[in-house]
Structure 1
Amino acid sequence: MRDAPLVPLGDGAASGPVADDVAMQRPWQRAASLSSTPRRIADFAERFLADAGFDRAPWLAVVFAGGILTWFALASPWQWMGAMGCGVLIALGALAAWRGDDDRGHLRSALVASSLVFAAGIAVIWLRSETVGAEPINRPVVERVQGYVLEREDQPSRDRIRLTLAVRDAETGTARKIRVNVPSDTPGLAGEDGDGLTEGAVVRARVRLMPPASPMLPGAYDFARAAWFKGLAATGSVVGGIDIIEAAPPATGIAAIQRGLSAHVRERVSGSAGTIAAAFASGDRGAIAEADEDAMRDAGLTHLLSISGLHVSAVIAAAYLLALKLLALVPPIALRIRLPVAAAAVGALAGIGYTLLTGAEVPTVRSCAAAMLVLIALAMGRDALSLRMVATAAAFVMLLWPESVVGPSFQMSFSAVLAIVALHSSSPAKAFLAPREEPWVKQMGRRVTMLFVTGLVIEIALMPIVLFHFHRAGLYGAFANVIAIPLVTFVSMPLIALALFLDTVDAGAPAWWLVQHSLDALLGLAHMTASQPGAVKLMPQMDRLTIGLFVIGALWLALWNGSARLWGLVPAAVASVMLIGTPIPDILVGREGRHVGITIEGPRGERQLLSLRDSRSSYSRDNLLELASVTSDPIALPDWPGAECSDQFCVITIARGGRDWSLLMARNRDLVEERALAAACERSDIVIADRFLPRSCKPRWLKADRRLLVQTGGLAIDLKNERIATVAEGQGEHGWWRGEQP
């Protein structure tokens, strides 16, 4: 582009080139310069896309997931329609602007494909929500129901059985699906009568039902959303006995085999190791003790308990290799068929069978689908570990279960796979693992080192997702997984398979003995790792911008090639700074106003939590502790020296943001004289109650009573910045949100 001529100033002097100094251009020159800016941006984007040498399929899967996430983030149908319309308009605009323009081929294709795929993502999740979503009941009820058992889940660790029933609504006559917990000591459940309480039985019971619960606090688990996509209208428990009107037919399905296999394994392996072995063999996690699950979680080993990629891959790989070696020993077969194709077929059958046997949960189906693609690639002689394979598996899952995109299981499993593929496809990793003439000890050392590096990269990739969903993460997971993954993959699971095979001739006892000791070692590792100082990192609720920057940075690092991928470190670094600066809420208020937590500084500078009620509910207590980033048990507010409590109210003053805040909190719903209450409210900055307070109660800053909380849901209050986060902010007009509109 030629330099523009010099333009004389008022005194006759000449300025610099106008192309470089827009402020000194004449209006017609400024317009021409600005009009060239989009062209320069388009030229840069075209050159970047042409030179990047990237695979388009993974990015299209990312854009499709972005459309799904956009539907969850936007509030109302008109916004969903607007986002879809924008996608279509961008695609049409790109086609119209650059039709037949070969100089914009890459950019045109990227905009058209991405915009249409984005709109398709919104359409798919919207259709899924309208198709499977079940309207929740309006209020808690106690009623007698008669229903058909759709699913039974044994949970011996919690002394209960969980039933999913299809019942008929007494008011409307329409069918609905509910889930109820049946205590193990319920009359009619034990003995021979209880044996008929399986899938296909018809039962009658008096039940206490609740609408699926929305998040207790901002950032807490949204069970109402999960129940919506499962079609559950209510959850609850059985009150009194349960009558089996019609026993289930003889158990012959997968569920019966799964329960029988789980019981068989627990008989052969005792204690906690037996519950873990049952989970590996049948997918039944109901018998695992809560203490063991907590230890596995804090040690970064929870993924070993959920039947997913590691387990399915181990089963398929074992079947593939075993079939390949055995078929090679039969010359008539080896000379007439392609052994990789036959072995892939055997591996596929083994993987599908294991997926069905372990309950065919979404993570297992997802892993099985990805494994099938790997087998197809092996049979065709293609690269089995590629980003295109990961993208295809992700697209398969998102088309069938688009709601899984917002769940931790989908995000963690695909993040881990992307991290593995990106690491092992990088030039340094290939050079490090390249075959060379060296002693076997060095070769083994390289593989062990790479296993540790892989675990470390996975932990780094998963850390933001784990903190976003669970607010706590095990920091030593990379070290524990170096031992745990080989132990499970190459010792425990093969031994379980061998023991089950030997049990057909009643000779599995030695193998079960080895299983017992291998899983005892796994649990010992988990408890030892979780008990180390600083093993767990707690974090308050991460905002959407922070997690979004983490995801963008990680995807950029994983999906681009060459030095361009290093730009992904920029958003990741910005997100890390934002995460460190995330404020911890000063006050947490549960969705009904009953549970209130106040963060304070202990005598040694440690963070502690004051709790208004000494709740027996571990769910409420854990939510308050996690979102307050407190590891110690909560302190009852009446026991705190700085609090003044009566039978009806507690008053406490805390210093935040350079001033004192006076809090008045109701302890029960007993009636209080209105004038005294109004006077107490007038002296308080914040009033919190699980009842409707009279209008005469006017605190100086916030009145969080029942009238407000039914609109907002739970609250997280930052007094220093005077900000209030609410559950309702992220719900919009989605079907599962039951908050009242103001």
Structure 2
Amino acid sequence: MRALGVLDGLLQSQRGDLFPWVPVLFGIGIGLFFSLKFEPEPAHYLWGAGIACVALALLWRGDRQDTVVFLGWTVLLIALGFAAAGMRAHAVGAPVLQHRSYGAVEGRVIAIDRSARDRLRITLDQLFLDRIAPDQTPARVRLSLPEGARVPRIGDRVMTTAHLMPPQGPVEPHGFDFRRHAWFQQLGAVGYTRVPVLIINRSPHDLPVEQLRQRLSTGIRSQMPVATGGFASAITTGDRSAIPQVALEALRASNLAHLLAISGLHMGLLAGVVFGGLRLLLALAPAAAQRVDTKKLAAVGALLAASAYLLLSGMQVASTRAYIMVAMMLGAVLLDRRALSLRAVALAAMVILVLRPESLLSPGFQMSFAATTALIVVFGGLRDRLTPTGPRWLRMAAGVVLSSLIAGVATAPFGAAHFNMISHYGLLANVLAVPVMGALVVPAAVLSLCLAPVGASWVGLALMDLGIGWILFVANWVAALDGAQGAVPMPPALVLPLVALGGLLLGLWRGRLRLLGVPVLLGAALIWHGSPRPDVLVAPNGGIVGVLTAEGRALSRAKGHGYAAERWAENDGSLRTQAEGAQLWQLVAGPEAPGKSVTAYLAATDQRLIHVIGKAAAEALTVCAADEVVISAKSVAPVGGCLVFDADALHRLGSVQMDAAGRWISVRDVVGARLWSHGPVRSRSDQWQ
């Protein structure tokens, strides 16, 4: 009872400030669902419904005791988050290709983007696949196009021949799971084509919003240079397919890539420009200004503009969050109320998590809400404690510097964890580029849209070109500075939840207990710093092996299987290329095996690792020793009691790793058997079958 009294006192101290914790509890339920290694059965959801009923009973009976009410809401929100994630996972379920395939592909183009290797890609739905039964045909496939290929339009029905494969799992057991990402996109196969794409039908009325986005994007690029045109189409329509890879890499290295994402900066600036412009125009007509409330009329116009911008942007996580917050602020203007910013952030998070629970795991969701929450908390605290002094231009400059610093600090752990990179001069780049984005680029985009009906959009586009040209100049200059980027290793899974908890305590809790966030953050940093990387990594197909040395990760091949090699280097926090990693192989090389195999000595376990390369070498390997580990992209069956990871084993287990203690861990050990990994496994008992 004493503990309940203490908790009741804490809750009393937070009265009126607990709503921002609602999406946090809901998100905990979502996180619990994704952390499972088996697919919940219907009985598990019944248990969840029972728990929710208990929570409702606590709410019913706890009308006079805040502690009981709080516990009831806590249990209920966690249960609802778990259920929402489960319902979403089953609702988006669609067939996944079970094997590699080559043949005719026919479908409707619904998206066009660009891969990390600077290849144009198209996403197709309404599919027909050669030699694939209709009930086994994926809902969507994504194809990379050959260099110089004719790019179809959104809504076109196309046909080609392509190599297809199922979405691949992580390149290491604790790495990014592309299969899970593809599952929630209903992407049942990925691949490439080496032949032209034939357009067999065009429907001008199919996917009207997407077609409008493409027409706007094409029109903008046709009137601007390549680099600035691709940037302009990205911030107006969300189409990044025309941004040169060199420019994109410079923006990432200088920490300016966030300017490409249609987020709070763009949505807020657009709404602000439209709101201010409408009020100014209405003020020029005194007769109208005396009869109507120009402030509310301008708010309606700004809300309509923001709504149109959301549709054109593709309704991504950042743009949806920004739209909800802008809509709440404009709604407060219409109702003569004051918008509560942290509550607006919490409401935006709840809407996104209810509609797309899987977004909780995405870097876009985490970084967007981390930056927004930190900015609101810090500037809210400064507003209550400091009185603005000095010239207006100096206060504006200080605001830009401070906001860039706050957003950079808040998003740095998430960016480093997901992308393994830190931009050392990001603050400098943002101070030089963000004011130009707000003062020139976004107003010019609005001006271009307003002048388009009279054929004078080129005026706004010319101004956009000047502003974007400056931003790209800053990005290239900062990216070229010595030490512009630093690499960091991938953290353990526990780190980001601890970072989020520490940040939430510091930002949302009132009173001295908020300082508990500091040791939580320090603990996350210590865990991250002290986490070792695997001694051995094996690619999912067995095509390449990486062995950790004092100089870095030694790779068994200098060419081929570059995706796995690149991801391993990123996760190791290394900037070495695959060729440089292959040169390190001599540091671990053991006695050469016959054929095209390469060997390595594993000091941790006193074993000899044999990587069998090629079909001939696999056929020649018939005998092995008990102290050997055989890895092969082909099926092998050597006699002698060695540990074998061949094509059959890796197809079942996924990529594998060996830790410093000599334990072998597979993707299946970490991920388990979920809907997106090995089909709809229904119970814990059959998850390893």
TM-score (norm 2): 0.89
Instruction: Report the CA distance between 1:549 and its aligned residue.
Output: 1.2
User: What residue in structure 2 maps to residue 247 of structure 1?
Assistant: 202
Residue 51 of structure 1 is matched in structure 2 by 13
1:130 is matched by which residue type in structure 2? H
Is the 2:113–2:240 contact (alpha carbons within 8 Å) kept by the matching residues of 1?
Answer: no
Alignment CA distance shift 1:152-1:467 (3 Å):
closer
Establish whether residue 113 from structure 1 lines up as the match of residue 34 from structure 2. no
Q: CA deviation at 1:115?
A: 0.8
Residue of structure 1 aligned with 2:313, choices 342, 351, 358 = 358
Report the residue type matching 1:633 in the other structure.
T
Equivalent-residue separation in structure 2 for 1:571 and 1:179 (angstroms): 42
**One-letter amino acid matched to 1:51:** S
Aligned match of 2:394 in 442, 445, 469? 445
2:274 touches 2:302 (CA, 8 Å); kept in 1? yes
Q: CA deviation at 1:331?
A: 2.9
The alignment partner of 2:633 has SS state of coil
Pairing of 1:622-661 with structure 2 (within 5 A): 622-634=566-578, 635=580, 637=582, 640-642=585-587, 643=589, 647-653=595-601, 655=603
Does 1:289 pair with 2:244? yes
Q: How do 1:20-59 and structure 2 match up within 5 A?
A: 39-59=1-21
What amino acid is the match of 2:631?
A: I
Taking the aligned partners of 1:314 and 1:290, their CA distance within structure 2 comes to: 27
- The amino acid that maps onto 1:213 is Q
Instruction: Describe the shift of the 1:444–1:177 C-alpha distance in structure 2 as closer, same or farther (beyond 3 A).
Output: same
Shift of 1:95: 4.6
Query: What is the distance in 2 between the residues matched to 1:335 and 1:142?
Result: 70
3-state SS, counterpart of residue 698 of structure 1? coil
Q: Structure 1 stretches (4+) deviating beyond 6 angstroms? A: 154-157
Secondary structure, counterpart of 1:736 in structure 2: helix
- Amino acid aligned to 1:297: R
TM-superposed CA distance for 1:61, in Å, is: 1.3
Alpha-carbon distance in 1 for matches of 2:348, 2:572: 37
Aligned to 1:430: 384
The answer to whether structure 1 residue 127 and structure 2 residue 67 are counterparts is no
Aligned counterpart, 2:677:
737
Find the counterpart in structure 2 of residue 8 from structure 1.
Answer: none
Rounded to whole Å, the distance in 2 between the matches of 1:250 and 1:93 is 49
* Aligned match of 1:494: 443
Indicate the SS of the match to 2:230: helix
By how many angstroms is 1:617 displaced?
Answer: 5.5
Question: What secondary structure sits across from 1:349 in the alignment?
Answer: helix
Q: Distance between the aligned counterparts of 1:544 and 1:412, measured in 2?
A: 17
Name the counterpart of 2:359: 404
Give the aligned residue type for 2:611.
M
Q: CA–CA distance in 1 between the matches of 2:561 and 2:474? A: 29
Aligned to 1:164: 124
Q: 1:259 aligns with which of 214, 226, 232?
A: 214
List aligned pairs for 1:116-155, cutoff 5 A: 116-153=76-113
Alpha-carbon spacing, 1:72–1:157, altered in 2? closer, same or farther (3 Å):
closer
Partner residue, 1:667: 613
| Structure 1 residues 250 and 55: CA distance shift in structure 2, 3 A | closer
Q: Would you say how many aligned residue pairs link Structure 1 and Structure 2?
A: 676
The 5-angstrom pairing of residues 194-213 of structure 1 reads: 197-213=152-168
Conserved? CA contact 2:506–2:516, under 8 Å: yes
Which position in structure 2 is the counterpart of 1:477? 426
Alpha-carbon offset, residue 350 of structure 1: 0.7
Task: Give the drift of 1:514.
Answer: 4.1
Q: Give the corresponding residue for 2:404.
A: 455
Give, in whole Å, the separation in 2 of the partners of 1:585 and 1:156. Answer: 25
Residue 3 of structure 1 aligns with which residue? none
Task: Tell me which residue corresponds to 1:173.
Answer: 134
Residue 651 of structure 1: SS of its match in structure 2?
Answer: strand
Which of 227, 230, 236 aligns to 2:191? It is 236
Pairs within 5 Å for 1:333-732? 333-426=288-381, 428-432=382-386, 434-435=387-388, 438-440=389-391, 443-499=392-448, 501-502=450-451, 505=454, 507=456, 512-602=461-551, 608-616=552-560, 618-634=562-578, 635=580, 637=582, 640-642=585-587, 643=589, 647-653=595-601, 655=603, 662-672=608-618, 678-679=623-624, 681-684=625-628, 686-694=629-637, 696-699=639-642, 703-719=644-660, 721-732=661-672
Of 31, 34, 51, 1:69 maps to 31
Tell me how far apart the structure 2 counterparts of residues 439 and 689 of structure 1 sit (CA, whole Å).
69
Q: Deviations over 1:13-33 (max 9, x none)?
A: xxxxxxxxxxxxxxxxxxxxx
- Are the aligned partners of 1:471 and 1:627 in contact in 2 as well (CA < 8 Å)? yes
Checking the alignment, whether the CA contact within 8 Å between 1:164 and 1:179 is kept in structure 2 is yes
Kept in 1, the 8 Å contact 2:59–2:72? The answer is no
Structure 1 residues 552 and 265: alpha-carbon distance in aligned structure 2, compared to 1, 3 A threshold: same
Q: Deviations over 1:396-440 (max 9, x none)?
A: 1112111111111111111111111111222x45323x34xx441
Asked if 2 retains the 8 angstrom alpha-carbon contact of 1:550 and 1:571, the reply is yes
Given residue 472 of structure 1, which amino acid in structure 2 is its aligned partner?
M
Letter in 2 for 1:178: R
Identify the range of structure 1 (634-643 vs 538-547) with the bigger mean alpha-carbon deviation. Answer: 634-643
Question: Which has the larger displacement, 499-508 or 202-211?
Answer: 499-508
Unaligned regions of 5+ residues in structure 1, if any?
A: 1-38, 603-607
- Greater radius of gyration (CA): 1
**Counterparts in 2 of 1:482 and 1:638: CA distance versus 1, 3 Å:** closer
The SS at the match of 2:103 is strand
**Greater alpha carbon shift after TM alignment, 255-264 vs 554-563:** 255-264
- 1:288-312 deviations in Å (ceiling 9; x for gaps): 1222222222222221112222212
**Paired residue secondary structure (2:678):** coil
Structure 2 residue aligned with 1:323, among 269, 275, 278?
A: 278
Shift of 1:222: 2.3
Deviation for aligned residue 1:277: 1.8
Distance 1:489 1:157, change over 3 A: farther
2:465 and 2:40 map into 1 onto residues whose CA distance is 58
State the SS of the aligned residue for 1:240. coil
Q: Structure 1 CA distance, aligned partners of 2:666 and 2:584?
A: 29
Change (3 A) 1:370 1:243: same
**Distance (Å, rounded) in 2 between the aligned partners of 1:83 and 1:523:** 51
Q: Is the 8 A contact 1:90 1:111 kept in 2?
A: no
CA distance in 1, matches of 2:141, 2:49: 39
Classify 1:671/1:588 alpha carbon distance in 2 versus 1 (closer, same or farther; 3 Å). closer
1:545-586 C-alpha deviation (Å, 9 max, x unpaired): 222211111111111123221121121111111111121233
1:141 alignment partner AA: S
CA contact (8 A) 2:534 2:548 kept: yes
**1:85 matches 2:47:** yes
Greater shift after overlay, 230-239 or 390-399? 230-239
Q: Secondary structure at 1:678's aligned position in 2?
A: coil
State the Cα distance separating 1:716 from its structure 2 match. 3.5
The structure-2 alpha-carbon separation of the partners of 1:724 and 1:450, relative to structure 1 and needing over 3 Å to count, comes to farther
Q: CA deviation at 1:62?
A: 0.9
Q: What TM-score do you get using the length of structure 1 for normalisation?
A: 0.83
Letter in 1 for 2:178: F
CA displacement at 1:640 relative to structure 2? 4.5
Return the letter of the residue paired with 2:67. L
Instruction: In structure 2, give the amino acid aligned to 1:590.
Output: A
Match of 1:30 in 2: none
For the structure 1 residues 439 and 638, does the alpha-carbon distance in structure 2 shift closer, same or farther, using more than 3 Å as the test? closer
Q: Distance in 2 between matches of 1:119 and 1:83?
A: 9
Which whole-Å CA distance do the structure 2 matches of 1:464 and 1:345 have between them? Answer: 38
Q: Secondary structure at the match of 1:234?
A: strand
How far did 1:346 drift? 0.6
Report 1 or 2 for greater relative contact order, CA contacts < 8 Å, sequence distance ≥ 6.
Answer: 2
* 1:670 partner SS: helix
- Tell me by how many angstroms 1:98 deviates: 9.9
